[in-house]
Amino acid sequence: MSKTITRAMLTDAAARRTGLSRADVAAIGDSMFALMGEALTAGENVKLTAFGSLQVRARAKRIGRNPRTGEEHEISSRHTVVFTPSAQLREALLAAGPTLSDEVGKRA
């Protein structure tokens, strides 16, 4: 079963790991997410070394189907963010070692 890690859980874990206050870690995290969002909105790619990269891709309009009724409808074109994991992250996932969720899920 998959466990969901929240921003608050990540903040708590980073504060414990770094010795910084939770407020400082939250401010840094909020700033990083805001900067990444601004870069993506401007059409730039975001590369996080040893983790992965984020890029905006255009999706063409297409015909979709309501799964309940089977009725077809047009889905408009849009932009979406695509995550590509780094080679290091892919290798770590394949190795299936200790997971971050084990550390992050602990409460202080």
pLDDT value for 104 = 52
- Note whether residue 2 is domain-resident: no
CATH code of 42's domain: 4.10.520.10
What's the total number of domains in the chain?
1
- Note whether residue 27 is domain-resident: yes
Provide the domain limits for residue 39: 7-104
- Note whether residue 31 is domain-resident: yes
Task: Please tell me the pTM assigned to this model.
Answer: 0.72
For residues 54 and 83, the answer to whether their CB atoms sit within 8 Å is yes
Q: Taking the mean position of all CA atoms in its chain, how far away is CA 52?
A: 10
- Note whether residue 61 is domain-resident: yes
Q: How many CB atoms lie within 10 A of CB 12?
A: 19
- Segments of the chain with pLDDT less than 50: 108
- Note whether residue 1 is domain-resident: no
DSSP 3-state helix, strand, coil percentages of the chain (rounded to 5)?
A: 45, 25, 30
